[in-house]
Structure 1
Amino acid sequence: MRLPARRSLRFALLAAVVGASLAFTPFAARRGPGRLAIARVQYEGGGDWYANPSSLPNLIRAIAERTALPIERAEAKVTFTDSSLFDFPFLHITGHGEMKLSEIEVKRLREYLTRGGFLHVDDNYGLDDSFRREIKRVFPDRPLVDVPHSHPIYHLVYDFENGPPKVHEHDGKPAKGMGIFIGNRLAVYYTYSADLGNGWEDVGTYPDPPLLHEQAIRMGVNLFTYAVTSRVTP
């Protein structure tokens, strides 16, 4: 994997784009001037939504250190019915077990996404069946499709020519990045058979080489950067 050329210039351009988007989006209004934040979603159904406790703090630290994006340094936690849901441009879901949404949560998630929000779901080995069922309720007319490797989410800051990195091996399946598009905007990004969040955790939490941790962090930086810059596109 290679670092993109003229990286500092790219970060400066991204910061300019974010500044422009903040002026027009409802997500910034409640977080204070020019601040961005990541929220972990607490869902019902019995799944461990709280898995990988060090993952988001490490990702947030990397975003703050490697980009010019004005990110909040603390991970937030929300439910789909919280009044603060629309404060966050980036929502993260993970877990090993069942996820179940109420009718109100289905409507709230649909509204969040159609108004410019971004949802990243990371199957932590066990979430796949219930997530596919629930996201079909949110968007029955929008399929979950493979995100082409040419998409900006794989090249915006760091280059991933073959899609998301694979952190853990379970069933011999390749890591996949899937998503739901609203117009040209990728609104939902689903990492399957990748365990990306495990790669964001503290080095040493799992017996993985540091290189995999670095690859996962780089992919996470891409995800957040895309989430906050893609909102300027109608």
Structure 2
Amino acid sequence: MKYLLALLASSLLAHAKDPNLVECGNLTYGKNQTSVCFAETFLSDAAKETGIEIAPKFIRIPLAEPSVFQTPLCVFTGEGDFKLSEAERTHLRRYLENGGFILASPGCSDAQWNRAFQREIPAALPDVEFTPLEMNHEVFSTVYPITEIATHTKSVKLQGLILNGRLALLYSPEGLNDVHNAPGCCCCGGAEIKQARQINVNALVYALLH
């Protein structure tokens, strides 16, 4: 598997500043909103599991800038209400349509952010609807076998956007931030998904495979 992943990642790496390094983005959008508490631990975990050289830290990428197209995966998270500009909506749509992958989740289980996200994604992709993902989807077995997704109080389902038969965006209204591994952060909303780190590793490897 490690050898296969290395070959599949080579086309992405050719466009990176360091051709041997995969970099993942932390999106900046709206009024300079971005994540401050999305744990980066899964980047190193994915590197160990696959043998691919993956940068252990996110690079901050403005959604309105062309640099968004140079990374295979971006996290889209934050807190509070937001509105995407037309340039951001266009880049979001083109990024997903052309092989990019977005991992999306609110910071601190924030209800305002969830409402804004559920409004803005259909505005950017009006012909695509969120699909609840069953546990037999490939993203739940690319590296770690995941048989259940749950917060500390209930079982939940993740949602996805499917474009041309490929999962292009993975979304949880709960917390995929894995804040226990993010220094100085806590899940004040109480809806942190217990399997967040494993899901995020699987999502990154899925993005590289597809």
| TM class by smaller structure | 0.7 to 0.9
Task: Please name the residue that 1:5 is paired with.
Answer: none
- Counterpart of 2:195, as a letter, is Q
Task: Please name the residue that 2:115 is paired with.
Answer: 129
TM-score by length of 1: 0.77
Query: Is 1:17–2:5 an aligned residue pair?
Result: yes
Question: What is the distance in 2 between the residues matched to 1:14 and 1:136?
Answer: 36
In the comparison of the two structures, how many residue pairs are matched? 204
Task: Please name the residue that 2:103 is paired with.
Answer: 120
Distance 1:229 1:39, change over 3 A: same
1:141 to 127, 130, 140: 127
C-alpha contact 1:35 1:72 (8 A) present in aligned 2: yes
C-alpha contact 1:199 1:216 (8 A) present in aligned 2: no
- Counterpart of 1:42, as a letter, is T
Task: Please name the residue that 2:140 is paired with.
Answer: 154
Larger CA deviation: 196-205 vs 74-83 = 196-205
Unaligned runs of 5+ in 2: none
- Counterpart of 2:83, as a letter, is K
Distance 1:218 1:198, change over 3 A: closer
Residues 43-82 of structure 1, C-alpha deviations (whole Å, 9 max, x = no match): 1157x523306x12x2222222333122123310011122
Give the % identical residues. 24
Task: Please name the residue that 1:177 is paired with.
Answer: 158
Unaligned runs of 5+ in 1: 1-12
Distance 1:123 1:114, change over 3 A: same
C-alpha contact 2:178 2:197 (8 A) present in aligned 1: no
Residues 183-209 of structure 1, C-alpha deviations (whole Å, 9 max, x = no match): 21000110122x1203452489548xx
Task: Please name the residue that 1:40 is paired with.
Answer: 26
Task: Please name the residue that 1:10 is paired with.
Answer: none
Match runs of 1:3-152 below 5 Å:
13-23=1-11, 25=12, 28-45=14-31, 49-52=34-37, 55-56=39-40, 58-124=41-107, 125-126=110-111, 127-152=113-138
C-alpha deviation, 1:15, in angstroms: 3.8
Question: What is the distance in 2 between the residues matched to 1:51 and 1:106?
Answer: 22
TM-score by length of 2: 0.84
Question: What is the distance in 2 between the residues matched to 1:138 and 1:218?
Answer: 29
Distance 1:28 1:113, change over 3 A: farther
